[in-house]
Structure formats: C-alpha cells, structure tokens
C-alpha cells in the first residue's frame, strides 16, 4: 500500500473512532434515562400504607400500629445491627489462611443465633399487631404479611434459581 492510501485509511479510522466517542458522550451525558424517581416522602411508612390500603386499618388502628412499632423498633434495630456485625465478622474470615472449621462453624452459629432472635422478635411484633385487626381483617393481614415475606425472600431465591439454571446448562 502506498503512503497516501495508508494516510487516508488511518484518517478514516481516526474520524470513525472520534465520531463513536462523541456519540457515546452524547448518549451518556444527555440522552441517559432519568434515574428512578425518588419517593417524595422518604419517611413514609410503606407497611402502614399497606395496612390501610390492603387490610383496611382505621386511623385508630394505625395509631396502635405506630405505638407498637415505636415500642419495639429500638430493640429490633439493635438486633439488626448485631446481626450485621456478626455477618461482617464471619465474612472477614475469608482472608484468613487455613481457617479452622471450628472457628468457621462458631461464627456461622453466632449468625444463626442472632437471626433466630431477630426472627422471633419480628414474629412476636407481627402477632401483637395481628391482635389490632378485627376478625374480618385478620385474613387480609395474614395475606399481606405472607406477600411481604415472599417478596423479601423470593427476590433472593429467584437470583439463586437463575444462577443454578445457568450453571446446570454448562
């Protein structure tokens, strides 16, 4: 290839790359999809909203719910923090060379005990809240609680099942 034709080819490639870079900048800076809308009221209680909408809680029942929540929240929050710390400690063990199985099992047991305590506290709270419901509202409340926990645990399980499906195909 002669020198002038090489230069034309190189100039053409540079122009194409330059246009591609400009197009990418335009896309990411100006044409990017808007972020998810931020909820107007970050302090809103979505569970209270669901109790009112789905279960039919009255204002009196919502006040009872808020009173129960305030009485238990600090205790539950401490348990969440304690569980998070136990999990942090557990996963820090990844960096330990030749980790002893008993240390690993003790750390896992520590998480299990904290999770159990948290689940029992949540169960007691939800059971007490169920007593606020009228007999007609109790089946709706039970259904709401089940939907919420299926949503919480189901999202993780869907990811796990997708990963298992993709690895089994290989």
Q: What is the pLDDT of residues 52-98, one digit of tens each?
A: 999 999 999 999 999 999 888 888 889 999 999 999 999 999 998 98
Output the pTM of the full model. 0.62
Asked if 75 and 121 count as a contact pair (C-beta separation under 8 A), the reply is yes
| Residue 39 belongs to some domain of the structure | no
Is 41 inside any structural domain? no
Render pLDDT for 90-144 as a digit per residue (tens, 0 to 9).
Answer: 999 999 898 899 999 999 999 999 999 999 998 999 999 999 999 999 999 999 9
- The tally of domains found in the chain comes to 2
| Burial of 159: CB neighbours in 10 Å, binned 0-12, 13-18, 19+ | exposed
15/82 same-domain check:
no
**Between residues 128 and 160, the one the model is more confident about:** 128
Q: Write the burial class of residue 132 (CB in 10 Å: 0-12 exposed, 13-18 middle, 19+ buried).
A: buried
Which residue do the tokens 């238990």 mark? Answer: 72
Q: What is the pLDDT of residue 5?
A: 77
Q: What is the Cα–Cα distance from 141 to 56, expressed in whole angstroms?
A: 9
> Does 52 lie in the same domain as 12?
no
> Could you tell me if 55 and 132 lie in one domain?
yes
Residues 94 and 159 in one domain: yes
Residue 142 lies in a domain: yes
Residue 15, domain extent: 1-31
Are the C-beta atoms of residues 55 and 141 closer than 8 Å to each other? yes
Q: 58 and 92, same structural domain?
A: yes
Which residues, at least 6 apart from 76, have a Cβ–Cβ distance to it below 8 Å? 118, 121, 122, 125
Q: Judge if 52 and 92 occupy the same domain.
A: yes
Q: Which pLDDT belongs to residue 158?
A: 52
With a cut of 70, say whether residue 170 has pLDDT above it.
no
Residue 37 lies in a domain: no
């Amino acid at each position: 290839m002669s020198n002038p034709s090489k230069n034309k080819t190189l100039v053409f490639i540079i122009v194409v790359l330059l246009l591609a870079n400009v197009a990418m900048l335009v896309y990411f800076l100006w044409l990017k999809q808007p972020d998810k809308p931020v909820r107007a009221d970050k302090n809103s209680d979505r569970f209270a909203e669901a109790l009112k909408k789905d279960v039919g809680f009255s204002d009196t029942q919502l006040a009872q719910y808020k009173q129960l929540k305030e009485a238990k929240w600090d205790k539950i929050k401490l348990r969440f923090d304690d569980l998070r710390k136990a999990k942090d400690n557990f996963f820090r063990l990844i960096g330990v060379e030749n980790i002893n199985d008993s240390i690993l099992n003790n750390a896992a047991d520590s998480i299990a005990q904290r999770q159990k305590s948290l689940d029992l506290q949540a169960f007691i709270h939800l059971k007490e809240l169920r007593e606020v419901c009228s007999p007609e509202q109790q089946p709706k409340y039970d259904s709401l609680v089940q939907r919420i926990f299926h949503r919480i645990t189901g999202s993780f399980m869907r990811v796990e099942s997708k990963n298992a499906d993709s690895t089994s195909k290989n």
